[in-house]
Amino acid sequence: MVTFKLNGKTVQGEEGQYILQVAEKYGVDIPTLCHHKALEPAGMCRLCTVELFDGRRSRFVTSCNYPIWEGMEINTDTEEVIKGRKLIVEMLLARCPDVTLLQDLAKEYGIDSPRFKTEDNDCILCGLCTRMCEKIGNNAISLTGRGVEMKVDTPFQAQTDFCMACGACASVCPTGHITLEKIKAEITTQKPQLIKSEYDMGLCGRKPIYVPYAQAVPNTPAIDRDVCIHFKTDGCKVCTEFCGVNAIDHSMKDEIIEVNVGSIILAPGFEPFDPSGLDNYSYADHPNVITAMEYERILSASGPTEGHLVRASDHKEPEKIAWFQCVGSRDMNKCDNSYCSSVCCMYAIKEAVISKEHADYDLDCAVFYMDMRTHGKDFERFYNSAKDEHGVRFLRSRVHTVNPIKDSDDLEVRYVAEDGEIITEVFDMIVLSVGLQTSPETIQLADKLGIELTEGNFTKTSTFEPVATSKEGIFVCGAFQGPRDIPQAVVDSSAAAAAAGMMLKEARNTATTEKEVVPEINVTGERPRIGVFVCRCGINIAGVVDVPAVRDYVSTLPFVEYVDDNLYSCSQDTQEAMAGIIKKEKLNRVIVAACTPKTHEPLFQDTLLDAGLNKYLFEMANIRNHDSWVHKDDPDAATNKAKDLVRMAVAKAALIQPLEEAELQVNQTALVIGGGISGMIAAKNLAGQGYETHLVEREAELGGQAKNIYKTSSGEDVQKNLSGLIDETVKNDKIKVHLDANLKDVEGFVGNFKTTLASDGSDETIEHGIAVMATGAAGLKPDEYSYGKDARILTSLELDRKFIEKDASLKDVGSAVFIQCVGSRDTDRPYCSRVCCTHSIDNALELKKLNPDMNVYILYRDIRTYGEKEYLYKKAREAGVIFIRYSLDNKPVVTIEDGRMMITAQDHVLGMPVKIEADLITLASAIVPYKDEKLAQFFKVPLNEDGLFVEKHAKLGPSEFSTDGVFLCGLAHYPKPIDEAIAQGQAAASRAITLLARETIHTSGTVAKTNPADCSACGVCVSVCPYSAPSFIDADARMFPGKAQINSVLCKGCGLCVASCRSGAIALQGFDNEQIFSQISALCEAV
Amino acid sequence: MSDWEPKIVSFLCNWCSYGAADLAGVGRMQYPANIRVVRIPCTGRMSPKFALAALREGADGVWVSG
């Protein structure tokens, strides 16, 4: 250590350090223009000149490159020093009079205008650029010439190949002498390129060191070795100089890690179709033609325009936007993807509606489509509201070409309207609804693993094992299984987990290690002893907030017995130190003022547990995400805010109490309601993983709707597979089948249900831990198209029955007509029944197979053969099936005269009515749920207006309910084909097993509790709770009969009941009134 | 009056708006420092009494988001 005097104060520095470095450490500000932490000092600008007294005499030295020595005396702001600096600034200003930085400095030193002759330069010859280039390992530029001729230049003053156009020189230039434009024009021969941000779809750039996106897990920056200069030149490593914890290691290598697994699940996803090759849409060369994925980023608040809807070319708010559907889907002409991508119709409508909602002006949104495919749950309603309420225009037309308009950023679109008229329209922006496809890397992976793919390059699976690949033990989920939306991908992921779990059930719990539990110290009744740890988070907090000031302030607050600041509170060693301090100081409340409790609360709560404290004796003050990061430019305000936030936490902490987490045994038995295909699959999976399962069927035999279906769209025999499944179910000794049975009563809640079954006139009570609703749905019996008046008019299922029974009369049919959307997509049932288009087309092909000369017509509104079902549509057209479109306001009419069935429909191509005589009419009738309100009440699960069960989350929780312990699958959720019903049966079992496998449930401590003495039994809490946690105490109970009680197992701690309670009889532990009031009053005290 | 800055108390739902405020930080979006956040488990927990208490204690505005 070297000790010397700095402005009269004794300071210490390390041997070899320069004056400037030590001054920085002690917070003494010395101005400099040529210093950079990562570069060797050069003493070029002379602005850092200070006065050195060596014991005998004074002299001036440049502090950036003058090493310290024992006993020296340094003064940084004497009159002489300032006078000298002023002269330097004046001379620099004379050389570069237009440089803002120097103008500002001149103002600071009181210089109006330089006394010297001014020049027209903008380089102060600080040498930062040349030293940086040298550090990078490139030496493409250097200072050339002597004296007044000196300047920054390339060898021979020519553009050089050596410059890699990395831009490092421009990034350090303090005056703007070197810019990216100058590099391009004068320095490099190479083409500087933006490193495109993958997350922002290349709409903006990113750095070589980057966090892929804000929510990335882990949220740690990574170095992109392909673009990082160090990996090109071996130089640079500037980043390491700035990392406070030496976390950057350029020598890290990729590792090959071998893991032993019993099963593999493939979830590699998809890549959006790249429309660059479609020259007719001008995507590659026009900035205002973008893909839907790019458009998503423009709409996103975290995107390149921060959610402001503007077009790329001129940042103008668009007035007219067009969406083109089926770009890279349903197309064998411009690409090879003949399948439907399933999701694009819906996402285009969503984007159009969001855009409309977003724009505070009259924005015109037009969607150009072939068939509108809104076949998901609640999608048809959304489509209708987009059309009728939001005014999105839907134009059934495939646009051939986009013509960029000369001398304008607009785009001209010519299309053929439905009536045949050619229309020209100008749009500001065009969004291409690009399809989903499997990436070449994924195809390679499939090849390596030896799994079979379909012709569309998705995984080949069977209807009855929808997540199993062709190789045993390898399962698949997500878009690699076929293009699909989020809910279906989530169903499949749970299904894949179930399938893998079945294989691995023997290994369950064999690799578990248990954590040692420290006995909890009882602190009840103790005076609060609050410990506060203020985190610096490196420079993330300390760079803005004055952490020592916050720390000192906090020590003055009531009940605070200990306070300190940490560099990184979340680091392993700090955690251990904190546990030690908690014990040593006998703290009974702990506050960490750092980042957000949403990510770090569990970590610090573990530290409390390690110190023997109840984990609820903890509070966080969010002084990073809510403070230092968002008030970077106002350190004083940020520091004050940090003090306020910690004071609020201290006020609350003084009132918090240890909370208990109750433990509940989970009954290991399952109950599945509904013996159709999805119910049987759920039972099979539950039993297969070792759980006793009761399967309840209201009818006399198992099978459900599948009993009526002939074959699947991929040609598998349904009856053969179904009887196999029924056989397996009946023979499974872990499954108890209850036929002709109905539910009479249900009591209890997750883990402990008690259900009374009535069958054969006797009652049976089953105790079970979970329940699966697989109650199915039925085909509609139509009341239109003369159904029931002629034996030749059938529903789809009745036609299937004829196929199953090999009805010979089918062969003699001369003309068969299918009518689609019978009872679906109308005002009574505004939903799509999802399966009927595929089913009718499949049956149409089957009829053609029986008799190739048969005339087969399909009258439809939109053909919805989503995913790879599209191939069937194509096959049907090739086989000569005639498709005639009708609209809801001009439905076909069926008449029967003298035994002849006639159908009149408006032909959409001819624009004229056509009359078809039919020998067979098949009505693709809707799928209608049973709307079992009693069952819904038994398990406290909701039904929607269509009578379908409402799942926990439309996207992320499709196979479970908000009510814990109750799961959902099959048609009761939404109409779906067999493969999807099976996947959901597996998914429901998988979700249920996550609960059953735990054997015990720990409730949260932050739950609501009633004080029955104050309760007026009004029932508001019982009616408002979305989780059915409150209930009335039995009327014949000894204590508080009829008053409200809250089941802490079901309570999610949202506090809705607390806020709604008129009697103030409910408290939310951990967020109680007094605690929140204390925060409010602490907050409003003046600092 | 031009220097006057209102003191705003916000009650943010733990699951959405509080998380959004966290993300605003991650995205380094800058906003005025005159807002203080009280984290509540759900906006269902919000009671009119909290808003009144904040105003009574001197807040100029109350923002509930969830």
Half-sphere exposure (CA, 13 Å, Cβ side) for A4? 25
Q: What is the mean pLDDT of residues A604-631?
A: 96
Specify if A15 maps to a domain: yes
Note whether residue A701 is domain-resident. Answer: no
Q: Do A630 and B30 touch (CB under 8 A)?
A: yes
In the predicted model, is pLDDT for residue A191 greater than 90? no
Nearest to A461 by CA among A490, A482, A435: A482
Residue among A625, A1073, A1077 whose CB faces B25 most closely? A625
Same domain, A211 and A309: no
A187, A204, A225 - which closes a domain? A187
Rounded CA separation A776/A627 (Å): 52
| Minimal CA separation from A544 to chain B, in Å | 13
Domain boundary among A653, A678, A709: A653
Domain that holds residue A207: 194-249
The answer as to whether A568 is a domain residue is yes
Chain A, nearest residue to B50 by Cα: A1077
pLDDT (0 to 100) of residue A87: 95
Inter-chain touch B47–A638, beta carbons under 8 Å: no
For residue B62, give the DSSP letter.
E
The model's pTM: 0.86
Residues A813 and A837 in one domain: yes
Cis peptide leading into residue A218 (ω within 30°): yes
In angstroms, rounded to a whole number, what is the distance separating the alpha carbons of residues A167 and A174?
A: 14
The full set of domain ranges for chain B reads: 8-65
Instruction: Please give the average per-residue pLDDT across A255-276, as a whole number.
Output: 96
Kindly report, residue by residue over A212-222, the tens digit of the pLDDT: 887 788 888 99
Cross-chain CB nearest to A1068 (options B39, B45, B49): B45
Q: Are A178 and A154 in contact (CB under 8 A)?
A: no
Query: Which neighbouring-strand residues pair with A1035?
Result: none
Q: What is the residue type of A928?
A: V
Residue B23 has pLDDT above 90, yes or no: no
Q: What is the pLDDT of residues A922-953, one digit of tens each?
A: 999 999 999 999 999 999 899 999 999 999 99
DSSP at A890: B
Q: Is A597 on the interface with B (CB under 8 A)?
A: yes
Radius of gyration of chain B (CA): 13
| Contact state of A1053 with B41 under an 8 Å Cβ cutoff | yes
**Which of A306, A644, A1054 is opposite residue B45, by nearest beta carbon?**
A1054
**Which of A632, A653, A674 is the C-terminal boundary of a domain?**
A653
pLDDT digits (tens, 9 = 90+) for A236-265: 999 999 887 889 999 999 999 999 999 999
Element (H, E) at A768: strand A762-768
> What are the pLDDT digits (tens) for A1018-1044?
999 999 998 889 999 999 999 999 999
Asked whether the beta carbons of residue A630 and residue B53 sit closer than 8 angstroms, the reply is no
Between A644, A1068, A1076, which is nearest B50 by CB? Answer: A1076
Q: Report the alpha-carbon distance of residue A804 to residue A782 in Å, rounded.
A: 22
A641 at the B interface (CB within 8 A)? Answer: yes
At B1 the pLDDT is 52
Nearest to A1083 among B9, B26, B45 (CB): B9
Rounded to an integer, the average pLDDT of A27-54 is 93
For residues A163 and A214, membership in a common domain is answered with: no
User: Do A180 and A222 lie in a common domain?
Assistant: no
> For residue A631, what are its two tokens?
């008030």
Shared-domain flag, residues A408 and A280: yes
pLDDT, tens digit (0-9, with 9 covering 90-100), for A749-776: 999 999 999 988 899 999 999 999 999 9
Contacts of residue B60 in chain A, CB cutoff 8 Å? none
Q: Is A912 on the interface with B (CB under 8 A)?
A: no
pLDDT of residue A419 exceeding 90: no
Statement to judge: residues A783 and A894 lie in one domain? yes
Indicate yes or no: CB of B49 within 8 angstroms of CB of A1073: yes
Identify from B5, B13, B39 which residue to disrupt to test chain A contact, counting A C-beta atoms within 10 A and taking the largest count. Answer: B39
- Does A581 map to a domain? yes
Is 0.90 exceeded by the ipTM?
yes
Mean pLDDT of the A907-919 span = 89
Q: How far apart are alpha carbons A982 and A1033 in whole angstroms?
A: 40
Number of domains in chain A: 8
pLDDT computed for residue A610 by the predictor: 94
pLDDT tens-place string over residues A472-511: 999 999 999 999 999 999 999 999 999 999 999 888 888 8
A-B interface: how many C-beta pairs under 8 angstroms? Answer: 119
Contact residues, A window 1008-1027, toward B, CB-based 8 Å cutoff: 1024
pLDDT band at A834 (very low <50, low <70, confident <90, very high): very high
> Which pLDDT belongs to residue A1086?
54
- Alpha helix segments (H runs only) across A320-407: 344-358, 379-388
Name chain A contacts of B19, Cβ cutoff 8 Å: 598
What value does the mean pLDDT take over residues A218-229? 91
A634 touches chain B (CB under 8 A): yes
pLDDT value of residue A888? 93
Chain B residues whose C-beta sits inside 8 Å of any chain A C-beta: 7, 9, 14, 18-19, 21-34, 36-42, 44-47, 49-50, 53-54, 57-59
Are A474 and A420 within one domain? Answer: no
pLDDT for A1087: 42
A143 and A206 in a common domain: no
Secondary structure (H, E, C), A904-953: EEECCCCCCEEEEEECEEEEEECEEECCCHHHHHHCCCCECCCCCECCCE
Residue A664 lies in a domain: no
Chain B contact present for A648, CB below 8 A: yes
Cα–Cα distance measured from residue A564 to residue A551, given in angstroms and rounded to the nearest whole number = 6
Token pair in block for residue A906:
């408006």
A1056: distance to nearest CA of chain B, Å? 4
Q: Which of A1076, A1077, A1085 to mutate to test the interface with B (most CBs of B within 10 A)?
A: A1076
Q: Let me know whether A277 and A426 are in one domain.
A: yes
Residue A635 falls inside a structural domain: yes
Name the residue among B19, B25, B39 with its Cβ closest to that of A629.
B25
Reduced to 3 states, what is the DSSP secondary structure of residue A59? Answer: strand
User: Does an H or E element contain A860, and which?
Assistant: strand A855-860
Beta-strand pair A1000-1002/A693-696: unpaired
> Among residues 1026-1055 of chain A, which lie with CB inside 8 Å of chain B?
1053-1055
Give A793's Cβ-side CA count (13 Å radius): 23
Is A214 within the bounds of a domain?
yes
Cβ <8 Å between B28 and A629:
yes
Q: B46 contacts in A (CB within 8 Å)?
A: 1059
pLDDT of A173 higher than 90:
yes
Element (H, E) at A209: strand A209-210
Separation between Cα atoms, residue A330 and residue B63, nearest integer Å: 49
Q: Which residues of A fall within a CB distance of 8 Å from B42?
A: 1053-1056
Judged by a CB distance cut-off of 8 A, whether residue A539 touches chain B is no
Asked if the Cβ–Cβ distance from B22 to A596 is below 8 Å, we say: yes
Question: Residue A309: what pLDDT?
Answer: 95
Closest C-alpha among A490, A499, A449, A491 to residue A470: A449
Q: Indicate if A58 and A163 belong to the same structural domain.
A: no
Percent composition of chain B: helix, strand, coil (DSSP 3-state, to 5) = 35, 25, 40
Please give, rounded to a whole number of angstroms, the shortest distance from the CA of B45 to a CA of chain A. 4
Is the model's pLDDT at B3 over the cut of 90?
no
User: Do residues A381 and A829 make contact, with C-beta atoms less than 8 angstroms apart?
Assistant: no
Partner residue opposite A1084 with nearest CB, options B18, B34, B58:
B58
* CB proximity A13 to B under 8 Å: no
With residue A1030 as reference, give the H or E element that holds it.
Answer: strand A1030-1032
Question: DSSP letters along A422-475, please?
Answer: EEEEEESEEEEEE-EE--HHHHHHHHHHT--B-TTSSB---SSSTTB-SSTTEE
Partner B contacted by A653 (CB < 8 A): no
Give tens-digit pLDDT for A545-562.
999 999 999 999 999 999
The DSSP line for A108-124 is HTT-SS-SSPP------
Q: Is the residue at A910 inside a domain?
A: yes
Q: CB-based contacts of A91: which residues, under 8 Å, 6+ apart?
A: A114, A116
Query: For all residues of chain A together, what is the average pLDDT?
Result: 94
